[in-house]
Amino acid sequence: MNAEQLERIRTGKGFVAALDQSGGSTPKALLQYGVPENSYSGEEAMYAVVHEMRTRIIKSPAFDSQHILGAILFENTMDREIDGLLTADYLWEKKGIVPFLKVDKGLAELADGVQLLKPIDGLDALLARAVERRIFGTKMRSLIKEANPAGIRQVVEQQFAIGKQIAAAGLVPIIEPEVDIASADKAESEKLLKAELLSQLAALEPDVKVMLKLSIPTEDNFYAELIEEPHVLRVVALSGGYSQAEANERLARNNGLIASFSRALSEGLSAGQSDEAFNERLSESVRNIYEASIK
């Protein structure tokens, strides 16, 4: 593990950019960017187009280490290059931004009020490749839709079981049990989730470090205990479908919680914009998310 990257993530000011849209979410991300599905044909063409979008974001002067600590990549992006460098190397060597990798394969069907991770076939091989590609950490997303104690326990147990496998490979896992912001019992789900997270964290070996990626809580500063927990490097927040303005406003009320936004980060960006307009819009978003993150 890169000690400089570890210290940057642990103590740095800024936020983590989520550039990890995959499979099912990529067409939506491209449509938001102004690229309709009928403008490309097939999966490979789709990923080439989305890599162009991500490259444009990463190479923008607005995407800088003054405001951004890390960036989460999709596997296909990790294997591609920017200006002759693998994406992770470009992020760190040219931008000073720590690279992470999304490793999950999507969500299982809804059961007990939650969607667990689908099996991650070939995870050991993927982790070995991530280490070879100089990735610092990983991310995997589950979804909680109801305050079901058994379901939430299953989500957290699965996340930590895989997280230990990731940590053993020399990477820092981002544990992401998202609570649906539209859930009727979101606050109760968060109470159950926090209890399960604290239980699992307390059982970790002393040298194991993780990050948590959580929905912005209903009650301000509800995750303060998790932020202070010794095994936790950082707690980052997903935007979860909130607009950038609402996500920033809610985030700013939570001390120590920093952003890891995807849709909210790319809001207002378009393939048809001039470079000047694109960079100006991204710069505004980066500044606003940064300010909400550092309070």
Residues designated as active site? 176, 213
User: Do the beta carbons of residue 51 and residue 108 sit within 8 Å?
Assistant: no
**What is the C-alpha separation between 157 and 26, in angstroms, rounded?**
28
8 A C-beta contact, residue 153 and residue 180 = no
CB atoms within 10 A of CB 271: 14
Tokens of 226: 């998790």
Q: How far is CA 279 from the centre of its chain?
A: 22
Q: Per the structure block, which two tokens stand in for 108?
A: 């299982």
Q: List alpha helices for 169-214, DSSP H.
A: 186-202
Query: Measuring CA to CA, how many Å separate 111 from each of 150, 154, 246?
Result: 10, 10, 30
